[in-house]
Homo-oligomer: A and B are copies of this chain.
């Protein structure tokens, strides 16, 4: 097939946190409006919303048409893409494939989630919808519980220490201090993580991403829909959504994040890029252990060494491969269906030198990795500076 190149022309995002005064639609409009500034024509060909649980969080479905109308773009093709916490990265991948293949010339992709309107003790139940209602939810296994089991197994099988596990949250919090849109802009030490309140043994409060509201958006264009200036284009070099055996209990090796492995390999192959070329990576660390296993699945660390490498400085801002440059899921925040789009918006800011105090100097290539469930789905997208 003949393929056009695809670019991110502009992005928009809201701060993450408690948006009591805004509806889920308000948040989506805010992020979309920012991303539409790069549009070279009246409206995008499609509007794609990434969202996990607006039905439970806002008693609202049909966000696609609703957003199109709210943006004054009634008529435009619009729909929602859902893949649990990987809804954002997956929605982007759908838009990217449609634009790159020339099926359409432009797509506005908006990730949005309103979590704080759910009663606090219902959030875990809402998130648990990413796992089987009949098998996993049924026995009361929340995601904190599942990842607690995973962390215990990881630490025992591969001799990972509590102190090592605390290293990725420390990186996140360090990077978030200067990130205007981050939920928690406060640096912490690994002691703070290791001694924080127990949530699901061995996972503690600071091992776990917080609950928050937010929306992030990107405008994808091909050469037929390039805006006026090519100066601020970031090329989308590759992308892939992959899945794993759905539930943890179905897997022969719980520590093998096969979806992330396959998605990363597929996206990098499409990009024609060696992993060593990446300037930074946005990693889906919903829990510290998930961050470590993700780094191992993508091949940046050897098995069992994701946290250890983090502790040794490899993934810090001055390390070999900076991760989570605005704070990652732990400190920037994790409004689930929006998270993948935050990773992409942050990549765009980095690759156009608009990352301010969080700038990775000379950043040229990046990858974003966005997981649904415990690696039941993984969406990886790869970006490159300039056009």
Contact = CB atoms under 8 A, between A and B. Distances in A.
B1 A102 contact: yes
How many copies altogether? 2
Contact of A61 (B68, B82, B94): B82
Interface string A86-130: 010010001001101111100000000000000000000100011
Contacts of A132: 25, 60, 66
A84 B243 CA distance: 25
* Interface residue range, chain A: 35 or more
Nearest to A373: B62
Interface majority SS (helix, strand, loop, mixed), chain A: mixed
A75 B262 contact: yes
Contact of A103 (B62, B87, B98): B98
A198 interface: no
Given A74-B244, A130-B62, A132-B66, A104 B94 contact: no
A4 interface: yes
A373 B68 CA distance: 14
A258 interface: yes
Nearest to A250: B69
B129 A62 contact: yes
20 contacts: A25-B132, A25-B134, A60-B129, A62-B129, A62-B373, A62-B376, A64-B377, A65-B83, A65-B84, A65-B372, A65-B373, A69-B245, A74-B245, A74-B246, A78-B241, A79-B81, A79-B83, A79-B90, A82-B82, A103-B103
Interface of A: 1-2, 4, 23, 25, 52-53, 55-56, 58-66, 68-70, 74-84, 87, 90, 94, 97-98, 100-104, 125, 129-134, 137, 240-247, 250, 258-259, 262, 372-373, 376-377
